[in-house]
Structure formats: C-alpha cells, structure tokens
Structure 1
Amino acid sequence: MTASPQLAVEAAGLVRHFTSGKKTTKAVDGVDLSIPTGSVYGLLGPNGAGKTTVVRMLATLLRPDAGTAKVLGHDVVAEADAVRAAVGLTGQYASVDEDLTGTENLLMLARLYGFRGPAARRRVDDLLAAFGLTDAGGRQVKTYSGGMRRRIDLAASLVLSPRVLFLDEPTTGLDPRSRNQVWDIVRVLVEDGATVLLTTQYLEEADQLADRIGVIDHGRLIAEGTSSELKHSVGQGAVALRLADASRRAEAAGIVHRVLGTEPTLPTDPYALTARVPDDGTHHVAHVLPALGEAGIEVPEFSLGQPSLDEVFLTLTGRPLPEDDQGSDEPAMEQEMSR
C-alpha cells in the first residue's frame, strides 16, 4: 500500500479474530479506510460491531490478523513506535489515575513525554484552561463529574498535541451539556489541524461532527459517505410524526408501514415516530395523515424532510441502532493484548 500525503489514515482489508475457549469470533472482517488529513471521520455502529477493535489496531494496541494499515504513512505493525509518537487515544473509560488530582495526572504524563520543569507546568496549565478544568485541577479525579472525567481524559491524550486523535465513544454516558462540551473541543482540535477518528453509537454525534461517516456492522463496513450522501441513498425523504397519545405509537407505526411500505423507526421519545419515504413512494405521503385520522390517532405535529441516520441504519441492517447497548466487540480482551 503506497502512502498518500493527503491521507492521515489508510487501511486495507483489516481483519481481527478473538478466541475465547473453543470459540473464535471475527470482530473485524476486511475493513478498508481512507481518512483525509484535517478531517473528522465517524465510525458509526452499535457496540459489538467492531469499532473499538478497528481503533485499537490503528493505535497499535492490537496486531491485525490480516490486512494492512498506515497512520501518517507509518505502518502500524512495522513502524509501531512512529505511529504511537504521532497519535493520541481516548478510550471508552477514563485512563487517568483517580487517586491523583487532575494536575498531578497531567504533570506525570508531561514529564513522561519529556517536558521538564516550568515547561511541564506551563503545558499542564494550558490544558487545564483549554478544557475548563483550572479550578478543578487541585482535586482528585475521583471527585469529578462524568463530563469532567471525559475532559481530563481528553486533555491527557493531548499532552503532545497529536496529529491524529482516536476518540472511542468519547461521550458515552454523558449528559447533553457535557456531550456538547466534548463536541466543541473536537471542533477546535480539527480547526488546529488535527485529524480525528471518532467511533460512536450516537446518530446525532456522527451527524454533528463527522465530515464522512462509515457504518459498521458485524465487523464489516457496509456503507460510507457524507451524512447527506448516506441519507439520500435510502430514499427521497422521511416523515416525522408526533402523536398526542404515546400508547398508540405501535398502532400508528403499523398504519404508516402499510401506507409507505417502509418500517418506521421508534426514537427514544415515546410520542415520536419517523419513517423513510422510498423513491417510488412519495405519492403515498399524502395518505398518511388521513389513514391515521380514520383510526382516531391524533397527530399534532407532522413534517416531511430528509431521512435521518436512524433510517439509514435501519435500511442497511434491517434493525434500528440501539441507544444503549452494553455489549463489546472485544471478547477476552485481557488475553489478546499481548503482542
């Protein structure tokens, strides 16, 4: 594979298996990636789809069983040290020491990375200020809120200002305010020239941040493109309904399915319902409200717009993207980390 100066990450045919007892699972099954420098690439899929395994292979924490990958032109196997010197990684769980203060965690990392004396302190102060943690720097990390922990974790991964940053589900479990803070940080990093590979199971997150999105399911990349391209690929539009009575949503979904011929998506809002409009079904949209009215189902809000990423995932996989999936694509991880 010939490295391209315009690509920060290149991968071809990545494969990774995990073995637990007599069972072997193919967590990643032939993934190809081409991520331009200075962009955000979103890898979208439920837990168990292979997202974390892809990131760990690119970050040199796991050796691919097959295929090749380069980060900034460096092979992740043959030139692992060069890759590690240029990338940062923030995983799904906090990697800092909870018994140390935020300042102590960052100082320790700064010194490990070669900062000395006042230079180390200046770097730590700059990071604490950038992430809004100056006042909390003297407190133990175990006293931090979930959003503060994610921010100190991100700060730790940026001590050396990496050119490529891997963010593995960085906002999982955060409240909306903390999630928006992380999104703002990602945008600033990209404005400063970093390349970000973001894994997420949140459709809105991919929509908000990613220049391009790859949809991964069962270890395979099943679709790729901009948010608009992916949405357009599944149909001409989507209808969004808000019902007066949440208890009748299942009944409403059945009626919408019958009229449009597509399987509706049920968001977490119990009053909401969306459905994709197929290319040959636009003329049926006008019949949705009358059909619901005949059944006595009140619809205070109705809109027609572009399909959401929910519809994209449902169309591609035959099932909606779960909101809270606690599975893992890396069984027996502790046994597989040896290189």
Structure 2
Amino acid sequence: MASPENRLLRGRPVWSDAEASTAGGDSLAVFGCAGCGAVLTAAVSEVALPIHLADAHWETLHPPLLEARSYTVDPAPYGPPWRQSDEVGAREAADRGRFALYGALSDGPSDTILLAPGDMRGTRLILERAAGYCRGIDGRDGPNLACLGCDLPVGTRMDDCGCWQVVRLLPQAVVRLPGPPERPIMDWAELLATGALWHRLSDYRDIPAGVALAQVVVAAGGTSVEVAPGPVAELLGRAVGALLPAGEGAKRLDLAGPGYGEPTADLVLVPVHPQTGDLWQPSAGAVPVPMDAALWAELAFPPHRTRLPVVGGLPTGVERDDPLPPYPWYPFPPSREAFRFTLARMPVVREPWLRAIYDRGF
C-alpha cells in the first residue's frame, strides 16, 4: 500500500520518471514490444489494482478482471517458477508480500501489467505453453503470448475456469509508446451519475465481499462488532458474528459514502475509487473500511426490481405462469478464498489474535 489511510494497492509505474515525462503523464498508455517496437495493446488508461484479485468459483468461467481500455500494475511477484509456502522462510515470503501460508509462492517477475484480453494487439498464442485445467488457459507454463513481429514472449493470458480473464504483460518485455490524451479522472458525483460503479461483477460479489470481510476484521482489531441492520448485515452479519467475539463495547459497522451520507458508526464501509484507488473519506471520525466500489454501490443504491411490466399489460383472459425468481437455499456467504487471500497479504495477520482467525476461518 502506498498509504494505509487513503490508498489501496495502487499499481507502481513500469517506467522511470524520465520515461514518464517523455511519454507524457496526461496521455493514455500504449504498450509495445521491447524487442521490435511493435504495438501490442490498445490505448489503455491506468486504474487502481482491483481488490478482488482472488480466484474463486472453481469450474466456473469468470469475466475479465479489468474493464476494457484500462490497465493496472500488480506489485506482487506472479508466474512460474512456483514454490509451496512451507518451502519458503517467513522473511522471504514477506519480501514477496505474503505474511501467512496461502497456496504456492511465485518466484516470477513483479510489476506485471494487467489488461483485459480484448485489449491485446499483435500477439499470437504459444501453443506449447497453453495448458489449462478444462475450460481454458491457466498460465501454469509461464508466458504464452508472443509478439507477431519478432516472436519475443511478452505476456501470459489466463481465461480458464476459476480465474479472472486477464493478460499479464512482462515488464521487461514491453515498453510504453506515446498514446492519445488520457481520460480525466471522474469525481464521485460523476461516477454515480454515469453508472460507472455498476458492472458485471454482480454474479461474483462473494469475492469482493470476502475482501471487505477481511478488512472489517482487521479494522475491528479483535474486538466485537455490531453490524447495522440492513444490507450490510445481510452481506456480512453472519460471518462477522462467527469471526469476532461477542461482548459489550462493540464497535458499530455501517455503510457510508458519496451520495449516501454518514450514519453514526465506529467503522464504515466506503468505496475504493476505481481509477485512483483512493478511499472515500468520512468526516465524522469513523474508521473507513475499503470496499469494492461496485459492491458498495449495490448496497448503497440497490436496483429497483419489479415483476410488473414496464408499460401496458397482458390481454384480457391471459394469465402468466412464470416461475418465481430463484432464491438461495442458504444465507449469502462471502468468499472464504478471498478472505484468506486478503489477510495473507497484510502484515497484521502475523499478530496472534488475527492469525488464529486466519487459521480457523468461518
């Protein structure tokens, strides 16, 4: 994190200050091949690293991790060779941003550049590195995209079940080329007015919910939490009750943010700006807890749904026998994988009270 108070995993630039001034800080990025200079991407705008990086929903195809015409930088190492967490010492794991055991540890490059697969240009798939599980490519064999101009391996495409669709460009294999003017950063009012906070992650909201749950547990500091009735309780109430102790003096958790207001609370779930990674800041003294902006918008401004036709009606004598909309058989569960994925990348997980929660789960 660049600043724990108001920034969440902002991607670091992949070029020097001199290169940035040459390319122009107010222009979109176009990434080219470091070997021959060929254009490899559409013009893309930098956004904050999504907070829902964790893979989940095994044997289910996921949408792209990023919106079209955007990119971000992941400071954590990624890609082969892989080592199991128990084979790596605690100090070495911490140097790679891992503070608790969680899956395999990468010895791959840091600062890979993430894009939606549809924004790639001028590359071919390296077929002998295109292994996957059953529905696509999972990147297990390392870089599987080569430049059409010089055949240099430049990145890895992943689109198998259980993982977000994404391309990771190797920072040493690409250069930034001049691009068109940058898109302006929208303020919160514009984001709400244009509907930019609503996107296709609604079917996978358990993943950002698991991330938010981890942030709530950390912000609570091991004390009990009283979840405000309403959408926050429906989303996180059961999991918070299972993870944190009950007792007097509980901290109250509620929702706050742009266009919504600030209720009286000790902890408030607030949106992360999708372009900058900045947290919306409360002014009443509550501790802000970061939440994916799309999930926050769904809680703060739930869509109005009705089973009545928008206009007109059915002809006389005609009756509908449509089945009722499906309802879950069990309460909504935040993603356990996303919860542990998030905690494992936070130094505070090494504190005994939080490590016990991490190991126990919910």
TM (norm. structure 2) is 0.22
Which of the pair is proportionally richer in helix? 1
Which of the pair is proportionally richer in strand? 1
TM (norm. structure 1) is 0.23
